[in-house]
């Protein structure tokens, strides 16, 4: 009888431990939206900075990346010259420039911290999604898993209200 | 490789098991890094990321990483649960069952990835979780049956051991210690196989994509089949010996043999 109670107690402890893990997982996953949802909408480029400076010479010039340098960096990239990024729910990304809109395919990888952009003509590009919330998105270039990217792009979310005011 | 348990295992058993499983773990880890940008054979980094995501208040990402760590834990848990419950009944079956589950997981990831994967975040998270479970299963099995001396999915502990052993080998008394030298052989075999598996997967992935997981499964399958074959051979040899000992004509002492009449030999 005593042995049976002991077995039951052990089973209860295990069930409780696994149940707690499951509950923790559920609570955490409903506490904030998935990056897949947060990223949707229009994002305006705010700034370009160096996250890591390539050499001492560049360090002397400061962290800010000017337009000339930016064009040089993005020459081979699909995001070249785009100032507004619009993420659509069907996995489509529209890069709006003054003249036109370039369509791309976007997906998030890993735990939602890697942004993959697919442009059918070139090989896919990967960006490290360093920060993502309702108002701000920060992308790092050169998504090496163990090291931070060299360039940092900051975006501000254009909420519907702001956008309406802007186009008025 | 799979039939022996704990202290009855030889260095050769550990090297064979360690090398083959480490090769497959290297393949799985490198492929998952290339495809999913996430490590799937070790969880040290995931613990750090979990803490980072919690501190940033990214609860969704924290939940995902927590689930991944849990899946690796669950793999180890299931693996050892099978070993300790069925080891007495059938050692081979108890040791090969976790590997079969691992193969099933890897085949599922390979097949889904090759034919159905649409690159959504949810799919990525689930597939990474499945691979972590598979690696947990493998790590749990090798550690369990080798008395914790073989761990093949991550190299943190192994690198620590190699560092310690290398420093010990600066002294003659340790250099001449056979058990330490054997341990070093096992560790180097595992490290080399892991890296080789990783390089192989990195090269082959460019050609065959998700089919890499089929090759990783095949390597695990080799372990199971090799042991099965050895068991069969042993059984066959044993049966043959048993049969031949039964059929042997009893030896008659010489004094009991009567000389044959001469006409028998002449055929008259």
What would the pLDDT profile of A42-97 be if each residue is shown by its tens digit?
A: 999 888 887 766 666 666 667 777 777 777 777 667 776 678 899 999 899 998 88
Task: Name the residue facing A28 among B33, B49, B63 (closest C-beta).
Answer: B63
- Is A25 in Cβ contact with B70 (below 8 Å)? yes
Q: For the beta carbon of residue B61, count every other beta carbon within 10 angstroms.
A: 26
Question: Cα–Cα–Cα angle for A139, B68, B190, nearest 5°?
Answer: 100
**pLDDT digits 0-9 by tens, B152-183:** 888 888 999 999 999 999 999 999 999 999 99
**Is the per-residue pLDDT at A163 higher than 60?**
no
**pLDDT digits 0-9 by tens, B53-102:** 999 999 999 999 999 999 999 999 999 999 999 988 888 899 999 999 99
Mean pLDDT, residues A4-16? 91
The pLDDT of residue B163? 95
For testing contact with chain A, the best of B56, B121, B122, B209 (most A CBs within 10 A): B121
The pLDDT of residue B31? 95
Mean pLDDT, residues B221-240? 83
- Within 8 A of A114 by CB-CB distance, chain B residues are 37
Q: How confident is the model at residue A34 (pLDDT cuts 50, 70, 90)?
A: very high
DSSP A64: B
Give dist(CA B121, CA B72) in Å, integer: 20
Q: How confident is the model at residue B262 (pLDDT cuts 50, 70, 90)?
A: low
Here the ipTM equals 0.82
Q: How confident is the model at residue A149 (pLDDT cuts 50, 70, 90)?
A: very low
**Is the per-residue pLDDT at A24 higher than 80?**
yes
DSSP A110: T
- Within 8 A of B125 by CB-CB distance, chain A residues are 111
Chains A and B form CB pairs within 8 A to the count of 72
Mean pLDDT, residues A144-152? 54
The pLDDT of residue A102? 86
Q: Is B49 on the interface with A (CB under 8 A)?
A: yes
Give dist(CA B257, CA B209) in Å, integer: 77
Kindly write down the DSSP assignment for every residue of B103-119, as one continuous string: HHHHHHHHHHHHHT---
- Is A109 in Cβ contact with B37 (below 8 Å)? yes
Domains defined along chain B, listed by start:
6-266 (1.20.1250)
Give dist(CA A55, CA B203) in Å, integer: 33
Burial B11-32 (b: 16+ CB within 10 A, else e): bebbbbbbbbbbbbbbbbbbbb
User: Which has more pLDDT, A90 or A160?
Assistant: A90
Tokens of B91: 């050692």
**pLDDT digits 0-9 by tens, A99-136:** 788 889 999 999 999 999 988 777 888 888 999 999 99
CB B49 within 8 A of CB B68: no
Closest chain B C-alpha to A116 CA, distance in angstroms: 10
Q: Which residues of A touch B (CB under 8 A)?
A: 21, 24-26, 28-29, 31-36, 91, 107-114, 116, 126, 131, 143, 145
| SS3 of B42-82 | CCHHHHHHHHHHHHHCCHHHHHHHHHHHHHHHHHHHHHHHH
**Is the per-residue pLDDT at B265 higher than 50?**
no
Give dist(CA B266, CA B63) in Å, integer: 98
Q: For the beta carbon of residue B169, count every other beta carbon within 10 angstroms.
A: 15
The pLDDT of residue A67? 74
Give dist(CA B138, CA A7) in Å, integer: 29
**pLDDT digits 0-9 by tens, B133-145:** 999 999 999 988 8
- Residue A106's Cα: distance from chain center in Å? 11
Give dist(CA B115, CA A125) in Å, integer: 23
The packing angle between helices B11-36 and B121-145, to 10°, is 170
Phi, psi (deg, nearest 5) at residue B155: -115, 15
Instruction: Give me the percent of chain B exceeding a pLDDT of 70.
Output: 88
Burial of B54 (0-12, 13-18, 19+ CB in 10 A): middle
Mean pLDDT, residues B92-119? 94
Q: How confident is the model at residue B9 (pLDDT cuts 50, 70, 90)?
A: confident
β-bridge mates for residue B155, sequence order: none
Closest chain A C-alpha to B63 CA, distance in angstroms: 5
CB B199 within 8 A of CB B212: no
Please state, in angstroms and as integers, the Cα–Cα distance from residue A67 to each residue in A45, A71, A83, B25, following that order: 13, 6, 12, 45
Burial A62-88 (b: 16+ CB within 10 A, else e): eeebeeeebeebbeeebbeebebbbbe
β-bridge mates for residue A48, sequence order: A153
Q: How far apart are the first and last CA of chain B?
A: 65
**Is the per-residue pLDDT at B214 higher than 60?**
yes
Q: Is B185 helix (H, G, I), strand (E, B) or coil?
A: helix
User: Which has more pLDDT, B42 or B251?
Assistant: B42
């Amino acid at each position: 009888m005593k042995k049976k109670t002991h077995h039951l107690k052990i089973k209860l402890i295990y069930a409780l431990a696994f149940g707690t893990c499951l509950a923790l997982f559920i609570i955490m996953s409903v506490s904030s939206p998935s990056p897949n949802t947060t990223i949707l909408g229009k994002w305006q480029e705010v700034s370009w900075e160096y996250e890591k400076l390539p050499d001492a010479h560049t360090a002397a010039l400061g962290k800010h990346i000017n337009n000339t340098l930016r064009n040089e960096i993005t020459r081979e990239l699909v995001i070249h010259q785009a100032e507004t990024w619009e993420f659509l729910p069907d996995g489509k990304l529209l890069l709006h420039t003054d003249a036109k809109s370039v369509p791309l395919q976007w997906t998030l990888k890993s735990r939602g911290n890697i942004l993959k952009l697919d442009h059918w003509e070139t090989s896919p590009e990967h960006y490290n999604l360093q920060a993502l919330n309702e108002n701000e998105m920060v992308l790092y270039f050169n998504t090496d898993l163990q090291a931070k990217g060299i360039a940092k792009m900051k975006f501000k979310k254009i909420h519907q209200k702001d956008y309406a005011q802007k186009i008025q | 490789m799979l039939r022996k348990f704990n202290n009855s295992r030889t260095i050769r058993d550990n090297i064979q098991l360690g090398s083959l499983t480490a090769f497959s773990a290297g393949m799985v880890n490198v492929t998952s890094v290339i495809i999913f940008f996430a490590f799937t054979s070790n969880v040290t980094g995931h613990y750090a990321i979990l803490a980072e995501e919690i501190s940033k208040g990214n609860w969704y990402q924290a939940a995902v990483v927590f689930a991944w760590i849990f899946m690796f834990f669950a793999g180890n848990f299931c693996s050892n649960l099978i070993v300790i419950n069925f080891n007495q009944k059938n050692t081979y079956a108890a040791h090969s069952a976790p590997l079969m589950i691992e193969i099933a997981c890897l085949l599922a990831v390979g097949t889904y990835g090759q034919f159905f994967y649409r690159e959504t975040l949810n799919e990525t998270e689930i597939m990474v979780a499945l691979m972590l479970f598979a690696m947990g299963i493998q790590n749990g099995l090798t550690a369990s049956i080798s008395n914790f001396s073989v761990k093949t999915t991550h190299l943190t502990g192994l690198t620590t051991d190699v560092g310690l052993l290398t420093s010990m080998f600066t002294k003659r008394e340790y250099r001449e210690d056979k058990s330490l030298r054997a341990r070093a052989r096992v560790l180097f075999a595992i490290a080399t196989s892991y890296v080789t598996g990783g390089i192989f997967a990195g090269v082959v992935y460019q050609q065959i994509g998700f089919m890499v997981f089929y090759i990783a499964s095949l390597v695990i399958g080799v372990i199971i089949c090799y042991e099965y074959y050895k068991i069969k051979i042993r059984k066959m040899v044993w049966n043959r010996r048993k049969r031949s000992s039964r059929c042997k004509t009893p030896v008659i002492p010489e004094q009991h043999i009567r000389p044959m009449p001469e006409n028998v030999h002449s055929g008259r």
